Copies of this chain bind each other. A is one copy, B any other.
Amino acid sequence: MESNLLGISFAGLSLENPTILASGILGYTAESLKRVAKGGAGAVVTKSIGASPRAGYPNPTVVQAEAGLLNAMGLPNPGIDVYSEEIKYAKTVLRVPLFVSVFGYSADEYASVASKAVEAGADAVELNVSCPHVKQTGAEIGQSPKFLSEVVEKTKAAVNKPLIVKLSPNVADITVLAQAAIEAGADALTAVNTLKAMAIDTETMMPILSNVKGGLSGPAIKPVALRCVFDIAEQFEVPIIGCGGITDWRDAVEFFLAGASAVEIGTAVADDDEVFRTICRGIETYLRKKHYGSVKEIVGLAHRK
Binding site for B on A (CB under 8 A): 65-68, 70, 138-140, 143, 170-173, 195-200, 202, 205-207, 212-213, 216, 219-224, 226-227, 230, 245, 250, 253-254, 257-258, 286, 298, 301-302, 304
Select which of B68, B206, B258 is within 8 A of A200 by beta carbon.
Answer: B258
CA distance A139 to B302 in the complex (A): 22
When C-beta atoms are compared, the residue in chain B nearest to A301 turns out to be: B205
CA distance A219 to B197 in the complex (A): 13
Interface of A is mostly: mixed
Most B C-beta atoms less than 10 A away, residue of A212, A220, A304: A220
Q: Known contacts being A139-B173, A213-B230, is A200 close to B67, with CB within 8 Å?
A: no
A177 CB to closest chain B CB (Å) equals 9
When C-beta atoms are compared, the residue in chain B nearest to A199 turns out to be: B223
Contact A207 B67 (CB under 8 A): no
Hey, which chain B residues are within 8 Å of A199, CB to CB? 223, 226, 254
Select which of B70, B143, B207, B221 is within 8 A of A172 by beta carbon.
Answer: B143
Contact B219 A66 (CB under 8 A): yes
Q: Known contacts being A67-B66, A139-B173, A172-B139, is A224 close to B205, with CB within 8 Å?
A: no
When C-beta atoms are compared, the residue in chain B nearest to A138 turns out to be: B173
Hey, which chain B residues are within 8 Å of A223, CB to CB? 65-66, 68, 70, 195, 197-199, 216, 220
CA distance A200 to B227 in the complex (A): 10
Contact B67 A253 (CB under 8 A): no
A143 CB to closest chain B CB (Å) equals 4
Contact A205 B302 (CB under 8 A): yes
Sorted from nearest, which 5 A-B pairs have the closest CB atoms?
A: A67-B67, A197-B223, A66-B219, A220-B220, A143-B172
Contact B298 A143 (CB under 8 A): no
Hey, which chain B residues are within 8 Å of A195, CB to CB? 195, 223-224
A3 CB to closest chain B CB (Å) equals 22
CA distance A219 to B34 in the complex (A): 36
A144 CB to closest chain B CB (Å) equals 8
When C-beta atoms are compared, the residue in chain B nearest to A70 turns out to be: B223
